[in-house]
Amino acid sequence: MVYKKQLRGVAQYVQGTSREAEVMEASPYRLIQILMEALMGRLAATKGAIERKDGLAKTQASTRAQAIITELRTSLDFEKGKDVAITLNSLYDYMGRRLMQATSANDTTMVEEVINLMKPVKEGWDAIKEEAEKVLADSN
C-alpha cells in the first residue's frame, strides 16, 4: 500500500463539517480519498478566489490546500509503496511549490495545472477501492 494505515490529521480538514462523523468511521483508504476530495475543493476555491480578487479567501483556501498536500506527503509509506511513494512524494512536492507560485502571482493557470496534476491521482485512487481495502484488511 502506498499510504500508511494511520493518518493523524485528517479530522482537522473536515472539522465542523458534515464529514466529521464520516472521518471517525472511515477506513484508511477512505481517509486518503477524503483528503483528495478536500484538496480538489480547496484548489477550486483558490482558483475562484483569485478570479474574484478575494485575497482573504485565496489565502485561506490555498493554506488549507497546502496543509492537505503536506498531509498526503507525510502519509506516504515509503517502505511498502517504494517507487510509487517516491513518485507521489515528488509530485506532491511540485504541486505544493506550484501552488505557492500561483497564489503569489495570482495566476489561475498555475492553480489549474495543480488541479490537472491531482485529477489522475485521485481518479486512480478512486479506481482501486476494492483492491486497496483488501490489502489493508489483509495486513491487520
Please report the pLDDT score of residue 28 as a whole number: 83
Task: Count CB atoms within 10 A of the CB of residue 123.
Answer: 10
Tell me: the pLDDT tens digits for 84-116?
Answer: 999 999 999 999 999 999 999 999 999 999 999
In one-letter notation, the amino acid at residue 106 is N
Cell digits of residue 42 = 480547496
Please report the pLDDT score of residue 51 as a whole number: 98
Please report the pLDDT score of residue 29 as a whole number: 87
- Residue position matching grid coordinates 496534476: 117
Tell me: the pLDDT tens digits for 33-75?
Answer: 999 999 999 999 999 999 999 999 999 999 999 999 999 999 9
132 — pLDDT class (breaks 50, 70, 90): confident
